[in-house]
Chain A
């Protein structure tokens, strides 16, 4: 069964605005990761947050993790047109392989 589920499925914002994407999952995790995929290309790892962490930053990215609610959010601040892509969360747990959520398609309009 699908583990991570992103919300919203599609998001359009203006350049300079912040974009927030959410991910929910169903079972225990070791860590949760966010990946970006530009149209028709490979996935690029953005950030990894471990199950004992609550918040992590990387440049314009801020990720939070709430294990009690089994959810995570990815915030991109001051978005740029180059941030237009699909964003996937992926969960990892011992003895299991990555499970990707369905993804959020972000469009940043100039």
Chain B
């Protein structure tokens, strides 16, 4: 199984809502990533979890809160988002450092 799954596929939320994005992989990868991607731009790294510990937070606002409950799951909790946070949120995992990352299909988020 070389698949990374993400739910939901689409999400519309108001600025006062709280929602969560979910990512799952069963490849035994020990590093997982959250990226944000705006239209016609490359993915921008948000968070990196390595062995279930947050190893990198690329100066992401606190309204984004990551969580890694176990080695297969990665969540991104959203609270009080702004319209400019509307984007495609991608999850990825990898087996070894600097090697191939496997991406999920993404969650398209619209903040109204």
Contacts and interface: CB of A to CB of B under 8 A. Distances in A.
**Chains A and B come from one and the same complex:** yes
Interface of A: 30-31, 33, 35, 40-45, 48, 88, 90, 92-94, 97-98, 100-103, 105
7 contacts: A40-B108, A42-B4, A45-B103, A88-B42, A92-B98, A92-B99, A97-B33
Contact of A97 (B4, B45, B106, B108): B45
Contact of A100 (B40, B43, B56, B88): B43
A94 B97 contact: yes
Contacts, number: 53
A94 B88 CA distance: 28
Interface of B: 4, 6, 33, 40-43, 45, 48, 56, 88, 90, 92, 97-106, 108
Given A42-B4, A45-B101, 10 more contacts: A30-B98, A40-B106, A41-B105, A42-B106, A44-B103, A92-B98, A97-B48, A100-B42, A102-B42, A103-B42
Given A48-B100, A94-B97, A41 B41 contact: no
A88 B35 CA distance: 14
A105 B6 CA distance: 25
A16 B42 CA distance: 27
Contacts of A30: 98
A93 B43 contact: no
A42 B99 contact: no
Given A40-B106, A42-B90, A97 B99 contact: no
A42 B98 contact: no
A67 B56 CA distance: 28
A83 B90 CA distance: 21
Nearest to A45: B100
Given A98-B45, A103-B42, A105-B40, A42 B97 contact: no
Contacts of B45: 97-98
